[in-house]
Structure 1
Amino acid sequence: MAEKEGSTRRILVTGGSGLVGKAIERIVNEGEKRPDETWIFLSSRDGDLTNTAETKAVFEKHRPTHIIHLAAMVGGLFRNLKYNLDFWRNNVHINDNILHCAYEYGVQKVVSCLSTCIFPDKTSYPIDETMIHNGPPHHSNFGYSYAKRMIDVQNRGYHEQHGCMFTAVIPTNVFGPFDNYNIEDGHVLPGLIHKAYLAKSNGSAFSVFFLAEPMEQLLVSLDLAQLFIWVLREYKEIDPIILSVGEEDEVSIKEAAESIVECMDFKGEVIFDTSKSDGQFKKTASNSKLKKYLPEFRFTPFKQAIKESCDWFVANYDIARK
């Protein structure tokens, strides 16, 4: 499916109202949009992507030439533990509908979003792009993880059988404005920001549900948005690429919580609650492939990104997902 020179690109972003979709929209609107590009950001209100007929209706309406595929059923550790089957079925339906419609409607390129949780639980570190299928993922979110792995399998299948340019990125833990700040269902960092906000407002202790030791490579959504746009325009491989800060920038949950305390100007008691499950202890990823492509790319410093995320949540508390 070769791209026609000089043709206008109609870029459809599924999951466009979420954390990463909103970041891409902001980057595009702040000057990254090119004259030959039309960007379309979908939300769940535009169609149920688990439904084949509704997905086809979206393609009929918008006729995309390129797709950034972000839409997924997502959730934090405890929701994954409870609904592994739902995460598998819903995400498999979404991904199959998007990729097969992209093939049927002649889409020139699809960039899907995977996650580092798809990697084997028992593995050596750092993990890299060649290790995705080397063993089972962590039991806590096997449904979501296997569904995301299947995107890589389908990408290869569509390329080998039909010549499609379908690829994927693998970001590490993403955070930033428009995140899901739900304490029970969301991911660790936005949940901690919300808890710190409530503790400060109520004059209560700030309880951190996770042990101090688990490590995270935390990536701010605006940095990921810039990299997504680069992958869409420039990256030519079917094989996925990890998008992440370096191993040296990995931080512990304790360090992240302490940064939130500082940025929220929280003066109360901080308690680390060790009674809750920690999920996967470690999943350090190598960004060496990314650095070969973009050696000059500079990620936003962690503390600056945390401060911007906390400030956004405080300023937008009434409209934030929580």
Structure 2
Amino acid sequence: CDGWDSCPVSAEETRAAFEKHRPTHVIHLAAMVGGLFRNMRQNLDFWRNNVHINDNVLQAAHEFGVVKVVSCLSTCIFPDKTTYPIDETMIHNGPPHESNFGYAYAKRMIDVQNRACFQQYGVQYTAVIPTNVFGPHDNFNIEDGHVLPGLIHKTYLAKKEGKPLQVWGSGRALRQFIYSLDLARLFLWVLREYDEVEPIILSVGEEDELSIKFAADAVVEALGFKGDVIYDTSKADGQFKKTASNAKLRKYLPDFKFTPFKQAIKETCDWFVANYDSARK
């Protein structure tokens, strides 16, 4: 969870944080998050905790006169059965993938609350929808983390212990990855320049969608792993693809340059190795 001190599940703690800091602008990243398998185990927890967190933050922002709130959604909120590429108009067009429906519906409700806040109070609360985020300071927990940090940690251990690398799933699933440093730059642009209540997808283009196998190969190369790579097809792939259009972003920022994927992977792997003892894992 991201936040001032802890996840603001309690309304009282959230108000106390706003009272202490008196922010005029808020980037709302606080959430209960996890990878595919943790979501599959704890859909109710993901629903309840995230609904509470989001309502507490947005209500406190209103009570303390915050000028702008930028919340963070996820591409997993989009309908499971849809046409591709997905875009910002399609969020509520059908149920999300069953693997993480609790988290997905809770995140969708931010968009509902933003629109209602604007309708009732005229406040400018909006949301961004990043694709799969990775980078330094991520949660590298193998069981509960997201796919890339989990792969980095697994590969590090496989190299250290001289064992094969086991990748969960077939490796065929497709994802668009965004480097956390690029995402941070875009968050600041949204905070300063983007004036719509409707959400905006922050992502590399459709042409940069990669297979999990390609991503795993990039991690293997970056960490110099020489052993065997085994794909465990008894483990779920999750949604096969979630191809997102960044046309709206490109309309605003046609010249924004994303960090090349392999460079971003190398920087993330180097950070993890250098900070292994203190990294979240």
Which TM class, normalised by the smaller chain length?
A: over 0.9
Structure 1 segment 32-43 matched on structure 2, within 5 A? 42-43=4-5
Correspondences of 1:82-121 after superposition (within 5 Å): 82-121=41-80
Task: Give the secondary structure class of the aligned counterpart of 1:272.
Answer: strand
1:85-106 per-residue CA deviation (whole Å, 9 max, x = no partner) reads: 0100000000000001111111
Mapped partners of 1:86, 1:170: distance in 2: 22
Residue 108 of structure 2, aligned match among 125, 143, 149: 149
AA at the equivalent of 1:241: I
The CA deviation at 1:295 is 0.4
**How far apart, in 2, do the equivalents of 1:15 and 1:203 lie?**
35
Could you tell me how far 1:206 is from its partner in structure 2? 0.6
Summarize deviations over 1:242-277 as a string: whole Å, max 9, x none. Answer: 000000011100000111111110111111111101
Q: Does 1:137 align with 2:96?
A: yes
Q: Is residue 58 of structure 1 aligned with residue 20 of structure 2?
A: no
Give the match's secondary structure for 2:27: strand
Query: Residues 283-294 of structure 1 correspond to what in structure 2 (within 5 A)?
Result: 283-294=242-253
Task: Give the root-mean-square deviation of aligned CA atoms.
Answer: 0.9
Pick one of 175, 183, 189 that aligns with 2:148: 189
**In structure 2, distance between residues paired with 1:308 and 1:290:** 25
Q: CA deviation at 1:53?
A: 0.9
Give the drift of 1:72: 0.1
Cα offset for 1:43?
A: 3.2
Q: Displaced runs of 4+ in structure 1, greater than 6 A?
A: none
CA distance in 2, matches of 1:180, 1:247: 26
Shift of 1:211: 1.0
1:181-260 pair list within 5 angstroms:
181-260=140-219
**Structure 2: distance between partners of 1:210 and 1:188:** 11
**Displacement of 1:171:** 0.2
Q: Whole-Å Cα distance in 1 between the matches of residues 45 and 171 of structure 2?
A: 30
Which of 163, 166, 185 is residue 125 of structure 2 equivalent to?
Answer: 166
Q: Which runs of 5+ in 2 are unaligned?
A: none
Please state whether the residue corresponding to 1:157 is helix, strand or coil. Answer: helix
1:302 equivalent in alignment to 2:264: no
Matches of 1:80 and 1:273, distance apart in 2:
19
Structure 2 counterpart of 1:9: none
The TM-score normalised by the length of structure 2 is 0.99
Tell me which amino acid in the other structure corresponds to 1:160. Q
1:57 aligned counterpart, secondary structure: helix
Distance 2:11 2:191 in 1: 25
Percent of aligned pairs with the same amino acid: 73
Alignment coverage as a number of residue pairs: 281
| Matched residue SS, 1:286 | coil
SS in 1 for 2:270: helix
Query: What is the TM-score when the length of structure 1 is the normalising length?
Result: 0.86
